[in-house]
Amino acid sequence: MNLERLPNEEKLGLCRKYYLIGFAFLPFLWLVNVVWFFQEAFIKPAYSEQLQIKSYVKRSALGLLVWVTVLTTWITIFQRFRAEWGEVGDYISFTIPLGTP
Amino acid sequence: MEHFGFDDEDLKQRHITNRVNAPRGGASAADGRVLEAEEEEEELTLKYGAKHVIMLFVPVTLCMAVVVATIKSVSFYSEKSDQQLIYTPFTENTASVGRRLLNSVLNSLVMTSVIVIMTVFLVLLYKYRCYKFIHGWLIVSSLMLLFMFSFMYLGEVFKTYNVAVDIPTVLVLVWNFGAVGMICIHWKGPLALQQLYLILISALMALVFIKYLPEWSAWVILGAVSIYDLLAVLCPKGPLRMLVETAQERNEPIFPALIYSSAMAWTVGMATPSDTQRSDTVSVCVFIVCVCGGEAVCVYLLYVCVCVCACVGGVKLGLGDFIFYSVLVGKASVTADWNTTLACFIAILIGLCVTLVLLAVWRKALPALPLSVTFGLVFYFSTDFLVRPFMDSLSDHQFYI
């Protein structure tokens, strides 16, 4: 789908929907929102809906950053302390590596 | 199965410019100008054609690259498994070669007849306008592909690289991949991402086929399905051709989700009525339900897509074509070395090229499987049985050519 051919209100509507749906544990959707609407929000010459699109893109980027931080922290903790957690570690593991830890 | 479209607006402009710029002259000069204009139109068709051929090479190559990379690194997909699809009921673990050959031919007959029945069923559904049913079917199938098979794939990749991953992370990854995929394919999303998802689900599907189809049956099935494709699209009573004709009669666009398009063709809802009337795409999808051993019922999806596009540029290729090309190259990389794999890859691209040239000449929906699969099979067997021993004995004798 080409953003160029959409009228501005529809662009705003799409950006907003992507932002709202991203709250369902979908940081990837926020990433797509940021990348796709980046040019619309920051590089194109100003038009009436651009301010709102800009705010949605910024909020999506913020949410994405929060998610990335949380995930990175959690993965680091898991990788470092999994062996020491014993049974609980095994319980929440999806794949358990072979060999000595 | 694709059809060519080129930008009519552009051509009209050209025609007008030709007539305006040409000096006024007698009848013979006018004829000359008409001829010139026709030649220019031919040239434009070919130019647009060449650009779109290249634009189709990239996704086909990408799909095949993903499949081959997975097979070479994740051993799960090249291991033989005892489970078989219920659509290939005859086993290949027989004592004699003749029996094995017979079983593989029977397997391919069963598989092809299942495909035919499903396609006819779908044509009937489309004819009697059960659009909701078809739509629901499509959504369930892409749900299965995007969530279940990618979950399986991710698990195997982690096991191969021996990394510990926790369940919450995996759930977040699979949920994100699947949900964004559903949004891009069935609703609205950036074109590049949609194309990427279509390539990835074709690759996933091809990997499943490579894993669960027995060796000889896979080759025979490839041949049988390309013959079926040829008949179904070109024969007057073929189901796919009837589908195409029904779609053309009705002039309505449905299921834009399951065709790979090389250009931004989807202007439904944004374009003028005349544009939307000319852009129809119909996709036929066949569900194959299988019970894999004692595990849950898996829903396999075989896309046999037919496309009729007569408008805003772009060539369209059905996902079924992607899947079978990748199955061919994937099987070549499982059982043979890199020479054969590369030879099959080049054969498929040559076949695709020739098909697209024929498309430019004939300008109607064509089956994309027969030529490519024929070349691929010929190259595979000749490279494996003729070229490889030749190269081996050349290097044995230290003779370099």
B100-150 pLDDT, tens digit each? 999 999 999 998 898 888 888 888 888 888 888 888 888 888 888 889 999
Mean pLDDT (whole number) for B377-398:
87
Q: What is the dihedral of CA A73, A76, A77, A79, to 10 degrees?
A: 150
B267 touching A, CB under 8 A?
A: yes
Cα(B141)–Cα(B298) distance, integer angstroms: 10
The amino acid that residue B199 corresponds to is: I
Evaluate whether B129 touches B249 at the Cβ level (below 8 Å). Answer: no
Q: Return the closest-CA partner of residue B60 out of B381, B240, B315, B254.
A: B315
Rounded distance, CA B362 to CA B337, Å?
38
Per the CB < 8 A criterion, the answer to whether B223 and A62 are in contact is no
Residue B275 catalytic? no
**Interface contact flag, A29 B179, Cβ < 8 Å:** yes
Indicate the residue of A14, A25, A35 with minimum beta-carbon distance to B175.
A25
The band of B49, judged by pLDDT with boundaries at 50, 70 and 90, is low
Whether the predicted pLDDT of B314 surpasses 70? no
- β-partners of residue B309 are B279
**Lowest-confidence pick of B151-165, B292-306, B335-349:** B292-306
Of A5, A24, A93, the CB nearest to B267: A5
Q: What is the mean pLDDT of residues B282-294?
A: 30
Residues A26, B189: C-beta atoms closer than 8 Å: no
In chain A, residues 4-63 whose CB comes closer than 8 Å to chain B: 5-6, 14, 21, 24-29, 32, 35-36
Name the average pLDDT for chain B: 75
Q: Rounded distance, CA B33 to CA B22, Å? A: 8
Closest-CA distance, A59 to chain B, in angstroms, reads 18
**Cross-chain residue pair A79–B164, CB shorter than 8 Å:** yes
The Cα–Cα gap between B28 and A43 comes to: 54
Which amino acid, one-letter code, is at A91?
A: Y
A2 and B169 in contact by Cβ < 8 A? no
Distances in Å between the alpha carbon of B397 and those of B171, B392, B394? 55, 9, 5
Amino acid A68: pLDDT? 96
CB-closest option in B162, B170, B270 to A94: B170
Question: From CA B372, how far away is CA B352, in angstroms rounded?
Answer: 6
Least confident of A45-54, B41-50, B223-232: B41-50
Please, what is the angle between helix A27-38 and helix A50-81, to 10°?
140
Catalytic residue among B8, B10, B275, B321: B321
Please indicate if any CB of chain A lies within 8 Å of the CB of B83.
no
Inter-chain contact B172–A74, Cβ cutoff 8 Å?
no
Our CA-based measurement puts residue B198 at a distance from the nearest CA of chain A, in whole angstroms, of 14
Q: How confident is the model at residue B204 (pLDDT cuts 50, 70, 90)?
A: very high
Yes or no: say if B125 and B243 are a contact pair by the CB < 8 Å rule.
Answer: no
Collect all residues of chain B within an 8 Å Cβ-Cβ radius of residue A94: 155, 158, 165-167, 169-170
Query: How far is the C-alpha of B110 from the C-alpha of B88, rounded, in Å?
Result: 7
Q: Is the ipTM of this complex over 0.90?
A: yes
What's the confidence (pLDDT) of residue B191? 87
Closest CA to B384 of B376, B373, B395, B394: B376
Rounded average pLDDT over B244-273: 53
* Mean pLDDT calculated for residue range B286-306: 31
Report how far Cα B372 is from the mean position of its chain's Cα atoms: 11
- For residue A2, which residues of chain B lie inside 8 Å, CB to CB? 191, 264
**Across the interface, do B169 and A95 touch by the CB < 8 Å criterion?**
no
> Is A93 part of the contact surface with chain B (CB cutoff 8 Å)?
yes
Residues of A in contact with B270 (CB under 8 A): 5-6
For chain A, what's the residue count?
A: 101
pLDDT in tens, B59-76: 999 999 999 999 999 988
Chain B residue nearest residue A88, CA to CA: B166
pLDDT for B184 beyond 60: yes
Q: Do B264 and A1 touch (CB under 8 A)?
A: yes
Chain A residues with CB under 8 Å of B177 CB are 28
User: What is the distance in angstroms between the Cα of B122 and the nearest Cα belonging to chain A?
Assistant: 27
Please say if the pLDDT value at position A18 is more than 80: yes
Q: End-to-end alpha-carbon separation of chain B, Å?
A: 40
Quote the CA–CA distance of B140 and B122 in Å, as a whole number.
15
For B169, the closest of A14, A75, A97 (CB atoms) is: A75
Q: Which of A55-59, A96-100, B243-247 has the highest mean pLDDT?
A: A55-59
Distance CA(B105)–CA(B290), nearest Å, equals 20
Query: What band does B88 get if pLDDT is binned at 50, 70 and 90?
Result: confident
Choose among A14, A94, A98: nearest Cβ to B188. Answer: A14
d(CA B144, CA B136): 12
Helix axes B215-234, B319-335, angle to 10 degrees: 150
A28: closest CA of chain B, how far (Å):
6
Nearest to A93 among B164, B180, B188 (CB): B164
Contact A56, A19 (CB under 8 A): yes
pLDDT in tens, B327-383: 999 999 998 788 899 999 999 999 988 888 888 788 777 888 899 999 999 999 998
Contacts of A71 in chain B (CB under 8 A): 169, 172
Note the pLDDT of residue B271.
29
Confirm or reject contact between B168 and chain A (CB < 8 A): yes
Under 8 Å between Cβ of B341 and B329? yes
Tell me the mean pLDDT in the region B169-193.
92
Query: Which tokens sit at B400?
Result: 């370099």
Asked whether the beta carbons of B1 and B229 are under 8 A apart, the reply is: yes
pLDDT for B72 equals 92
Q: What is the pLDDT of residue B17?
A: 43
